[in-house]
Amino acid sequence: MGKIQSCIAEGSAAIALVMDERASKYWKEDAGAAIENMLLAIVALGYASVWVEGYVLDQEAYGKAVLGIPKHLRLLAVLPIGKSAVSPHQARKKTLTEIVYYENYGKREKP
């Protein structure tokens, strides 16, 4: 799988997200929610990961062949898991006054 993107081979483990697009018309939204929850769990356990999707979709046939995934299923993303080579830092969170609008987009003052 490292042929798809090198970071997949660099992790100690990886999660391949395999979806059945026939199961729900919201399969992409379901996948996105599942991936985000997995990423949060990975970090909570003290590991690091990254959401690899674009390269996976570009080489989906190859990834499905490597993993033995049936043709009717989709290989949507891969989450490599490992210890981060650098210590991550939390970006500054914006204040509510920087991100909240009232009644209309761009309106900062309360009505």
- What are 78's two structure tokens? 């891969």
Residue 24 lies in a domain: yes
Residue 90 lies in a domain: no
What letter represents residue 108's amino acid?
R
Each residue's pLDDT tens digit, 38-88: 999 999 999 999 999 999 999 999 999 999 999 999 999 999 999 988 887
Q: Strand, coil or helix: what is 55?
A: helix
Token pair 């993993």 is found at 67
12: confidence class by pLDDT, cuts 50, 70, 90: very high
Backbone angles phi, psi at 83, to 5 degrees: -90, 135
Residue 105 lies in a domain: no
Read off the pTM.
Answer: 0.81
Count of the separate structural domains present in the chain: 1
Each residue's pLDDT tens digit, 15-36: 999 999 999 999 999 999 999 9
Residue 46 lies in a domain: yes
Residue 49 CA from chain centroid, whole number? 9
What letter represents residue 64's amino acid?
K
Residue 25 lies in a domain: yes
Residue 97 lies in a domain: no
Range of the domain at 50: 6-85
Residue 80 lies in a domain: yes
65: domain CATH number is 3.40.109.10
